[in-house]
Structure 1
Amino acid sequence: MTERHRDAALSPSEQATIRELLDADFRQTAARIAMLGRDRAEIVESSALTGSDDEHDPEGTSTAFERAHVQALLDQAVTHLADLELAFERLRDGTYGTCATCGRRIAVERLMILPAATACVTCASGRRR
């Protein structure tokens, strides 16, 4: 297990800012999941109502492609929501902002852009040897 550095703790103001970012991202992601779920349901419903062979429709994409595309976006959003929940847990237990790979502090600037980040830039880019 990697050594955890004492300087990895976030200040109270940084914690408050991060919590706000996580909350906003969580709300946006939950809304995206709801929207994509509705889109997927509409695609499935509309394809059930038509008996046409849309796989060979020269006018556009196939229903199967649209359904797969929406499902992939939905899967990504669900994964991101789970990552945000883990970030909230790390914030509560005091490990938020600590790189899961090397144990050093993740730059606050990185966390402001990617609040669910679990690795510092060096580890995320694979430059650490």
Structure 2
Amino acid sequence: MSRENAPIRAALLRLRQQAEAQATALDGDLRSLFEASRSSNADDEHDPEGSTIAFERAQLTAVMDAARRQIAELDVALQRLDAGTYGVCEGCGRPIPAERLAVRPSARTCVACADRR
């Protein structure tokens, strides 16, 4: 690993750690929700008070899936860093602008190629 890649690697690993912590917390919340719904005989489908348990479960699952996708994308970014292809567009082979990587560190394409997808 080159010294110039060390700050990039550190940033990617920090983002991955944050996403992993979020996924773990969400998994705990989802397990708690399942346990609470199992021990309750409430008719959440007809409850006039707020959202249903099914809705909350769907929300938690969607956010947890997004966190897991982010972890996978960051893993690919780390692999690309190791391979020397981080910051190079997979579509056209040109450099991905630093501004795009600052906003989306796991970007694999430049904006032009991303727009074509």
TM-score band, normalised by the shorter chain? over 0.9
Q: Specify the SS of the correspondent of 2:50.
A: coil
- Tell me what 1:47 maps to: 37
Structure 1: give runs of 5+ residues left out of the alignment. Answer: 1-10
- Correspondence for 2:111: 121
TM-score (norm 2): 0.92
Separation in 1 of the partners of 2:46 and 2:59?
18
Query: What corresponds to 1:69 in structure 2?
Result: 59
8 Å Cα contact 1:18/1:112 also seen in 2: no
What do the CA deviations read for 1:13-72 (whole angstroms, capped 9, x no partner)? Answer: 3x2232122011011101100110011001101000101110111111000010011001
Identity between Structure 1 and Structure 2 (%): 44
Q: What's the CA shift for 1:12?
A: 4.6
Partner Cα separation in structure 2 for residue 103 and residue 56 of structure 1: 55
CA contact (8 A) 1:97 1:106 kept: yes
Q: In structure 1, the residue corresponding to 2:7 is in which secondary structure?
A: helix
Secondary structure (helix, strand or coil) at the match of 1:58 reads coil
Higher relative contact order (CA 8 A, sep 6+): 1
Could you list the runs of 4 or more consecutive aligned residues of structure 1 that deviate by over 2 angstroms after TM superposition?
Answer: none
Question: Which stretch of structure 1 is more off in the superposition, 27-36 or 107-116?
Answer: 107-116
- Alignment length, in residue pairs? 116
Residues 91-102 of structure 1: pairs in structure 2 closer than 5 A = 91-102=81-92
Aligned counterpart, 1:81: 71
The equivalent residue for 2:22 is 32
What's the TM-score once normalised by structure 1's chain length?
A: 0.84
